[in-house]
């Protein structure tokens, strides 16, 4: 092949390739034109959509020139029929702020912008509120070609919302300050609003009324479920209203009648339904209605019984007179009982005061005789005299304790105890108080005389029964017999709530005139007595009954007029191990004291006696007679003392006040409070005040040292 032929072939191939590329290019050009046509049609459709959209919409290119705009946009922005297409947004609105230009730039950079509430100032000075959103839009090449702005003027909505808010605020204030009780609550029970009048009339606080259901449970009691049913029916019916009358219980427990009315259910902005309830206090009206009803019933009764009117009136007059006489008699009886109770209380306080003084007198005597006995040879006559004196002092101390325990209500200490010694001791004590014309005999024949009880209360039972028997005999000669024996009760005595088992039977019999049958049923009632004024309070047998029931026992009485009376007390026998309740032997403190004690008592004899005993025991004692002086010494050197021992009853400042001030200066300072009146303060009360120990006067030196050692080592 010649060179010319080769060149021709090459040119022919190149021509064929050129034609093929031209064909492909024409095909792509056709596709591109079709795409452009489709895009143009889409943009035209979008522009047409925007133009006719009910919202304010505008479409801009990247130079912020209008491409499309809705009629609503032209109207909202007062552009009328102006032709803005192709114009710059900043040319149409030359007064636009830099803030909006920044927002446009961010949107053109691809960041969508949005605001739900934005003020839009007008040229005339007015301000509209708008909600707007700006979105970037792109052509098919993916580059941002412009933005679409959507705005909505919400000024009217804002005005409506503000008016609604003001209306709700006015409604809330109207309810809060309403002169009548008003409550507004949702269907779910939440109390939305309540008037101050409501809380003022009921006494309930806002915290008490957080929920409607919780409040009506308190206020309506048994009627609460009826109110709930009415409210449920109201919400279910939709249009019916409640108009009911109910008694409500206020916070102080009193009852008032209210007329309760409600509105038809309404709907809150959050979709919940609510009702408003209004109440009116109709207590006075109810009373008047009740009085009118009673008068009406009375008149109807009089009309129906007009033939026997005079007889009925006379009968009622007689009943009224009898009722008045009965009321007067009851009043006189109550006055007499009150006088008796006041007299007993006065005697109780009097006995306590005397006991306090006697204990203060006995205290130094007891300690001093104890020291003298320790220094006197045992086989000397002087020792015998001191020993007899000591026994007399101890007996006097026990006597004062018994008087106080019989006269005052003290804490009951239940523990196993033998009753026979208590019977002997109590009768010995009573012999001096019973007239000499009355002989007291006792017979103790109990195999096991242990019971679970309180010794003081058991003695009170014996004392009251014997004293009652003595009162029945009066000044006449007679005999009182006290028997103690074991018995077994079978079957159960249901009337006395007693179980079958072993009991201790205590019988007190007298040879008096007996008890009348009409009196026998009342003898255990408090304040009931057949004695004349001043001869008894009527509490003795009621106290016996109460004590016996507390000890899980029973008391019976059998009496025959002219032959005397027998009281029988049954107490359950204690079958447990008595040794477990025996106190462990007290060896007393073995080491000598070294601590420094501040001793305060306004009785000179007690102060010097205690000071001497404690110094002999090794303690360093500073004794002060005046409580204020003792406080001054402690304030001066609060860390120089290891213990403070102070009397309870002192002038200027009591021991309790002194203990509080001392512990205020030095917390944790051990304090012993000494008192001769065991009901003046209990151990629990003393411990609550920070008092380490309670020392009851009078006490011997061994007990004194033991209490002091215990307080120091606590």
Residue 533 has pLDDT above 50, yes or no: no
Across 448-462, 521-535, 554-568, 643-657, least confident range? 521-535
3-state secondary structure 29-74: HHHHHHHHHHHHHHHHHHHHHHHHCCCEEEEEECCCEEEEECHHHH
Q: In percent, how much of the chain has pLDDT > 70?
A: 74
Q: Are 390 and 370 spatial neighbours (Cβ–Cβ below 8 Å)? A: yes
Structure-token pair, residue 679: 């009901």
Highest-pLDDT range among 241-250, 423-432, 684-693:
423-432
pLDDT value for 537? 44
pLDDT at 536: 46
> What digits encode the pLDDT tens for the residues 637-684?
989 999 999 988 888 898 889 889 998 899 888 999 888 765 556 677
pLDDT at 108 over 60: yes
CA distances from 641 to 365, 606, 673, 712 (A): 28, 20, 16, 11
> Under DSSP, is residue 210 helix (H, G, I), strand (E, B) or coil?
coil
pLDDT at 494: 44
Torsion of CA 633, 635, 641, 644, to 10 degrees: 80
- Count the Cβ atoms, other than its own, within 10 Å of residue 238: 9
**64-73, 237-246, 488-497, 586-595: which is most confident:** 64-73
DSSP 8-state assignment for residue 267: E
pLDDT band at residue 544, thresholds of 50, 70 and 90?
confident
Other Cβ atoms less than 10 A from the Cβ of 57: the count is 22
Can you tell me whether residue 530 is helix, strand or coil? Answer: coil
Half-sphere exposure of residue 101, counting CA atoms within 13 Å on the CB side? 10
Whether residue 351 has pLDDT greater than 70: no
Output the pLDDT for position 549. 87
Phi, psi of 155 (to 5 degrees): -60, -45
| Whether the Cβ atoms of residue 195 and residue 180 lie closer than 8 Å to each other | yes
Instruction: For residue 386, give every residue at least 6 positions away whose Cβ sits within 8 Å of its Cβ, in sequence order, or none.
Output: 369, 372, 373, 376
Q: Tell me what the mean pLDDT of segment 335-361 comes to.
A: 61
- Cα(604)–Cα(364) distance, rounded to whole angstroms? 9
Mean pLDDT of the chain: 76
How far apart CA 701 and CA 707 sit, in angstroms, is: 10
% of the chain with per-residue pLDDT over 90: 7
Angle at 526 between CA 492 and CA 415, to 5 degrees: 55
Among residues 648, 551, 554, the alpha carbon closest in space to that of 606 is found at 648
Phi, psi of 535 (to 5 degrees): -105, 0
Bond from prior residue into 139 cis (ω within 30 degrees of 0): no
Would you say 542 and 526 are in contact if contact means Cβ atoms under 8 Å apart?
Answer: yes
According to DSSP, residue 117 is labeled E
* 2-23: pLDDT as tens digits: 777 777 777 777 777 777 777 7
| H helix count then E strand count, the chain | 20, 23
CA angle (348, 350, 351) in 5-degree steps:
65
Q: Angle formed by the axes of helices 627-636 and 655-665, to 10°?
A: 10
Structure tokens at 430: 């009573």
How far is it, in rounded angstroms, from Cα 42 to Cα 60?
15
Give the Cα separation of 454 and 416 in Å (integer). 8
**Beta-ladder partners of 256:** 248
Residue 612 scores a pLDDT above 90: no
373: pLDDT strictly greater than 50 = yes
Residue that wins the pLDDT comparison between 362 and 108: 108
Q: What is the pLDDT of residue 345?
A: 57
Can you tell me the distance from the alpha carbon of 359 to that of 393, in angstroms, rounded to the nearest whole number? 10
Domains of the chain with CATH codes: 53-153 (3.30.450.20), 168-286 (3.30.450.20), 411-581 (3.30.565.10), 596-713 (3.40.50.2300)
**Highest mean pLDDT (candidates 290-304, 370-384, 440-454):** 440-454
């Amino acid at each position: 092949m010649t060179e010319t032929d080769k060149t021709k072939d090459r040119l022919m191939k190149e021509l064929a390739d050129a034609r093929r590329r031209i064909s492909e290019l024409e095909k792509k050009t056709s596709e591109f034109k079709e795409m452009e046509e489709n895009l143009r049609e889409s943009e035209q459709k979008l522009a047409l959509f925007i133009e006719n959209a009910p919202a304010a919409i505008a479409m801009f290119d990247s130079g912020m020139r209008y491409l499309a705009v809705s009629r609503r946009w032209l109207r909202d922005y007062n552009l009328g029929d102006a032709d803005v297409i192709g114009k710059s947004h900043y040319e149409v609105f030359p007064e636009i702020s830099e803030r909006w230009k920044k927002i446009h730039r961010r949107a053109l950079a691809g960041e969508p912008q949005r605001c739900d509430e934005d003020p839009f100032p007008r040229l005339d000075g007015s301000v509209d509120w708008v909600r707007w959103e700006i979105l970037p839009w792109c052509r098919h090449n993916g580059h941002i070609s412009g933005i679409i702005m959507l705005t909505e003027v919400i000024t009217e909505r804002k005005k409506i919302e503000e008016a609604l808010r003001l209306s709700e605020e006015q409604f809330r204030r109207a309810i809060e300050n309403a002169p009548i009780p008003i409550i507004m609550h949702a269907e779910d029970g939440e109390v939305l609003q309540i008037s101050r009048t409501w809380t003022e009339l009921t006494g309930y606080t806002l915290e008490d009324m957080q929920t409607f259901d919780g409040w009506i449970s308190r206020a309506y009691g048994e009627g609460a479920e009826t109110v709930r049913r009415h409210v449920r029916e109201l919400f279910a019916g939709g249009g019916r209203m409640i108009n009911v009358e109910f008694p409500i219980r206020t916070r102080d427990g009193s009852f008032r009648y209210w007329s309760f009315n409600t509105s038809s259910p309404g709907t809150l902005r959050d979709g919940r339904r609510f009702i408003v309830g209004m109440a009116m206090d109709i207590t006075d009206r109810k009373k008047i209605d009740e009085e009118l009803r009673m008068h009406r019933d009375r008149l109807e009764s009089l009309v129906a019984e007009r033939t026997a009117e005079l007889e009925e009136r006379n009968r009622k007059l007689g009943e009224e007179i009898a009722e008045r006489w009965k009321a007067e008699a009851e009043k006189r009886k109550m006055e007499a009982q009150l006088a008796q109770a006041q007299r007993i209380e006065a005697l109780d306080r009097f006995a306590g005061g005397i006991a306090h003084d006697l204990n203060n007198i006995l205290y130094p005597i007891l300690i001093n005789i104890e020291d003298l006995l320790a220094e006197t040879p045992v086989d000397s006559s002087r020792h015998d005299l001191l020993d007899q004196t000591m026994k007399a002092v101890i007996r006097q101390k026990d006597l004062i304790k018994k008087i106080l325990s019989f006269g005052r209500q003290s804490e009951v200490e239940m523990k196993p105890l033998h009753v026979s010694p208590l019977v002997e001791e109590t009768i010995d004590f009573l012999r001096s108080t019973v007239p000499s014309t009355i002989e007291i005999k006792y017979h103790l024949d109990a195999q096991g005389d242990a019971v679970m009880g309180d010794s003081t209360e058991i003695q009170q039972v014996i004392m009251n029964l014997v004293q009652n028997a003595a009162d029945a005999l009066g000044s006449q000669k007679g005999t009182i017999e006290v028997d103690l024996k074991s018995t077994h009760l079978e079957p159960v005595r249901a009337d006395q709530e007693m179980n079958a088992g072993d009991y201790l039977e205590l019988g007190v019999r007298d040879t008096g005139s007996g008890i009348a049958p009409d009196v026998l049923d009342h003898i255990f009632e408090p304040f009931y007595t057949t004695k004349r004024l001043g001869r008894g309070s009527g509490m003795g047998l009621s106290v016996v009954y109460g004590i016996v029931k507390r000890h899980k026992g029973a008391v019976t009485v059998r009496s025959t007029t002219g032959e005397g009376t027998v009281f029988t007390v049954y107490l359950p026998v204690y079958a447990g191990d008595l040794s477990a309740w025996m106190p462990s032997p007290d060896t007393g403190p073995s080491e000598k004291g070294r601590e420094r004690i501040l001793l305060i008592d306004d009785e000179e004899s007690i102060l010097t006696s205690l000071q001497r005993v404690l110094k002999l025991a090794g303690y360093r004692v500073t004794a002060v007679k005046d409580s204020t002086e003792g406080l001054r010494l402690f304030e001066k050197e609060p860390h120089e003392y290891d213990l403070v021992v102070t009397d309870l009853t002192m002038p200027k400042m009591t021991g309790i006040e002194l203990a509080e001030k001392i512990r205020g200066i030095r917390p944790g300072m051990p304090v012993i409070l000494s008192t001769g009146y065991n009901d003046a303060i209990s151990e629990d009360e003393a411990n609550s005040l920070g008092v380490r120990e309670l020392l009851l006067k009078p006490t011997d030196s061994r007990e004194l040292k033991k209490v002091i050692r215990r307080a120091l080592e606590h």
